[in-house]
Amino acid sequence: MPGVLCPTRGGEASYPNQDRAIQIARERGSEILFLYVTDVRFLGRIASPMIVDVEEEINEMGEFLLAMAGERADKVGVVSRSLVLRGAFQDALVEAIHGNDVNVVVLGSPGGETGITTTDYLHQLIAMMVDELAVEVYVVDRGEVLEHFGPRGIEPA
C-alpha cells in the first residue's frame, strides 16, 4: 500500500509536524514511514574510528526518536515503520521513496528556531520529488500545512 514518508530530526519541536503526517496517513488509510538521516560529513577531519563511533551513537538516537514517533502513530491506529539512513539528505530521501512505495512526503518548513535548511533548498527538493519522482509533497510548520504540491504542480492546502 502506498505510504506517507515523514523525514524528521525527532524531538519535541518535531512533534506537531509528525502528528500532521500521521493525520495525513490516517485520512488516506496509509502506513507512515518515519525517516531519520545521519550525515557526518562535517566530521571529515576527525580520525575515522571516531567518526564511526559518533555515527553509531547518532543512529541509535535516531532510532529512539523514530520509535517515539511510531508509538504516537500506533496510538491512533496508523501502522508505522521507521528507517535510519546514512549520507546526504536528498540521496536518503530518494532511496526511501524508491524503496518503500511512498507517494506522499511531509516536510517541515525551514526557519524559526529549529530550521536547519533554507527555503531555496526546500523548493529544489520539492521540484525534484514532484517532477522526477511523481510524489505529493506537503510542507508543514508547527503542524499546519503551508503548501501542498501534487505531481502536476501546486494545489491548495
Q: What is the pLDDT of residue 38?
A: 87
CATH number of the domain enclosing 118: 3.40.50.12370
Q: What is the pLDDT of residue 13?
A: 85
Domain extent for 73: 3-155
Q: For each successive 10 residues of the chain (157 residues), what is the average pLDDT?
A: 86 92 97 90 59 72 92 97 92 96 92 64 93 94 93 55
Q: For the chain, how many structural domains are there in total?
A: 1
- Distance (Å, whole) CA 92 – CA 127: 16
**pLDDT score recorded for residue 44:** 59
SS3 state at 81: strand
Pairing mode, strands 102-108 and 3-7: parallel
**SS3 (DSSP) at 123:** helix
Task: Give phi and psi for 118, each to the nearest 5.
Answer: -110, 160
Q: What is the pLDDT of residue 152?
A: 59
